[in-house]
């Protein structure tokens, strides 16, 4: 199907790709390369079609672009097809299909595929729960520089899940995750720093985590900062309260927030 659509709908005639005057130059450059068969740009253009202010969202067309790149053996494309099946973007939700695509992405060396497959095995979503297999996936991805996998590997080490408990190693991986830009790692690293009395440095990492943090991290930050004298940093705490006001009521009233996430 994807090959047919490429030939009849997308493949440029005589080697030329008509420009789209409505797109910014950088997005148009992605579209041009995607039309010419570049796999990275096919995935990037598919992501634009999934969620962008530049074009109307079209998850069905996005999946076509991901499929074309996946058929060429491009790992990140299989990861995106897994995401589509996982969340029902342009296709019925199918967790078995999601796991299959994540597995293919991982086999092709895609770290996001390894991470997403690890999440399924860790939580038993669409597959039988297997913490040992999840751990192996996170270890490989973390060793290859994937920041989110570093954070979860740290949690395995801290809790002793399927591996000997090692707090020092956990703190090392939390720091690496934070330095790699993962907001969860930044929060967990900040919490560890605060626990060891390094509050000023902890505040710096919480500030970095705040802009991209999701509801669970915002609530964990609120729980931790709320117990500190003067909330650790009044300006940071005030900014956190503004973010919390945007959360749905159901998210803003958790059962018992935890320090780690």
Residue 257 placed within a domain:
no
Residue 59 placed within a domain:
yes
Residue 73 placed within a domain:
yes
Report pLDDT digits (tens) over 209-228.
999 999 999 999 999 999 99
Report pLDDT digits (tens) over 190-206.
999 999 999 999 999 99
Residue 210 placed within a domain:
yes
Residue 44 shares a structural domain with residue 122: yes
CA distance 134 to 129: 9
Residue 9 placed within a domain:
no
Residue 206 placed within a domain:
yes
Residue ranges making up the domain that contains 113: 27-129
Report pLDDT digits (tens) over 53-90.
999 999 999 999 999 999 999 999 999 999 999 999 99
Residue 122 shares a structural domain with residue 188: no
Q: What is the 3-state secondary structure of 1-14?
A: CHHHHHHHHHCCHH
Residue 18: per-residue pLDDT? 73
7: burial class by Cβ within 10 Å (0-12, 13-18, 19+)?
exposed
- State how many domains the chain has: 2
Report pLDDT digits (tens) over 224-249.
999 998 899 999 999 999 999 998 86
Residue 256: per-residue pLDDT? 46
- Quote the percentage of the chain above a pLDDT of 70: 89
Residue 255: per-residue pLDDT? 42
Helix, strand, coil shares of the chain as percentages rounded to 5? 70, 0, 30
pLDDT band of residue 19 (cuts 50, 70, 90) is confident
Residue 125 shares a structural domain with residue 33: yes
Residue 40 shares a structural domain with residue 109: yes
The mean pLDDT value for 91-117 works out to 98
CA distance 14 to 54: 27
Residue 39 shares a structural domain with residue 105: yes
pLDDT band of residue 260 (cuts 50, 70, 90) is confident
Residue 111 placed within a domain:
yes
Q: Which residue, 65, 98, 129, sits at the end of a domain?
A: 129
- Domain of 110, CATH number, reads 1.25.40.10
Residue 40 placed within a domain:
yes
pLDDT at 13 over 80: no
């Amino acid at each position: 199907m994807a090959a047919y659509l490429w030939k009849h709908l997308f493949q440029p005639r005589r080697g030329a790709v008509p420009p789209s005057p409505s797109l910014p130059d950088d997005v148009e450059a992605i579209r041009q390369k995607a039309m010419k068969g570049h796999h990275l740009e096919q995935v990037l253009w598919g992501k634009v079609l999934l969620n962008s202010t530049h074009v109307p969202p079209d998850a069905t067309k996005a999946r076509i672009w991901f499929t074309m790149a996946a058929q060429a053996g491009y790992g990140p494309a299989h990861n995106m097809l897994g995401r589509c099946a996982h969340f029902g973007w342009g296709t019925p939700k199918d967790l078995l299909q999601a796991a299959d695509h994540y597995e293919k992405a991982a086999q092709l060396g895609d770290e996001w595929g390894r991470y997403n497959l690890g999440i399924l095995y860790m939580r038993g979503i669409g597959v039988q729960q297997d913490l040992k297999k999840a751990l192996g996936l996170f270890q490989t991805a973390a060793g290859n520089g994937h920041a989110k996998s570093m954070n979860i590997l740290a949690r395995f080490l801290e809790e002793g899940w399927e591996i000997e408990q090692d707090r020092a190693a956990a703190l090392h991986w939390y720091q690496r995750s934070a330095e790699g830009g993962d907001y969860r790692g930044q929060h967990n690293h900040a919490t560890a720093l605060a626990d060891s009395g390094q509050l000023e440095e902890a505040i710096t990492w919480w500030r970095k985590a705040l802009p991209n943090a999701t509801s669970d991290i915002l609530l964990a930050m609120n729980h931790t900062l709320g117990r500190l004298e003067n909330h650790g940093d009044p300006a940071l705490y005030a900014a956190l309260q503004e973010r919390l006001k945007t959360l749905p009521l159901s998210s803003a009233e958790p059962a018992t927030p935890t320090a780690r996430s």
